[in-house]
Amino acid sequence: MIKTENLTFSYTGLRPYILDGIDMEIKDGEYVSIVGDNGSGKSTLVRLILKLLKPTRGRVETTANRIGYVPQRSDFSGSGFPITIYEMLASYMKLLKIYDKRALDEILRLVGLEKHSGALAGSLSGGQSQKALIARALLGGPELIVLDEPSSGVDNDSQRELYGLIKKLNIEKGITIISVEHNLEAAVANSTLIYHLSGGRGHFCTPQNYAAEYLNPGGKENKNA
């Protein structure tokens, strides 16, 4: 369970706030997509949940002992860094104090990267990179995985595969998913709940209601709605 109370944030600590008094509760096993315009505070909200940022006011509580994080690929300074997928995962395992290498092999198989474990992280395609980051997030058996725009820079076929994997983790392993989404079609198709952020505040709605209220038939947000 993740609960925020009066969660308020700005980088200066002063108004205008990026997030202004967010009260939200996400139950275990949910798949929540956070949507909203550019600059609406989606990534800030998940960074506060991950405790990478300190709230200006309010608080975040989580019952998850281990949280996996899949960062935005554009934020990810991996390309050009001399590290193989296996090294990237093995080093992270050591940081989490996991010493069972079979867990690593099993996760590589689960995300379908077992044949790419020796490849350099920067040499992978967009879809494969995201899978590698999901594999890293899966180390240590997380109860919650937070993803920041998982489909950015990923082609359509790989997107389908990627969302299939995320959904599988949610349904079969019961992992709670919080995903910042620009891909509204994917948000509606996969989530159990949608959290819409606008003007520093947010509200939950079902994917069906969100689609009816905000989306045009093509999956694009209807700004006039």
Contacting residues toward other proteins, per CB under 8 A: 50, 52, 67, 69, 71, 76-78, 81-84, 86-88, 91-92, 94-96, 118, 120, 136
Rounded to an integer, what distance in angstroms lies between the CA atom of residue 52 and that of residue 61?
14
Nearer to other proteins, 97 or 223 (CB): 97
Nearer to other proteins, 59 or 94 (CB): 94
In this structure, the number of other CB atoms found within 10 A of the CB of residue 71 comes to 22
Report which of 127, 133, 91, 125 is spatially closest to residue 108, judged by C-alpha positions.
133
Closest distance of CB 52 from other proteins, Å: 6
Output the six-digit token pair for 206. 């079902």
Looking only at the bridges linking them, the beta strands covering 176-180 and 31-36 are parallel
Three-state DSSP at 117 gives coil
List, in order, residues 6 or more apart from 44 with CB less than 8 Å away: 9, 18, 19, 53
Closest distance of CB 199 from other proteins, Å: 27
Nearer to other proteins, 86 or 210 (CB): 86
Closest distance of CB 218 from other proteins, Å: 34
Nearer to other proteins, 82 or 217 (CB): 82
Closest distance of CB 91 from other proteins, Å: 4
CA torsion through residues 95, 98, 101, 105, sign: negative
Q: Got the DSSP string for 148-166? A: ESTTTT--HHHHHHHHHHH
Closest distance of CB 142 from other proteins, Å: 10
Nearer to other proteins, 83 or 212 (CB): 83
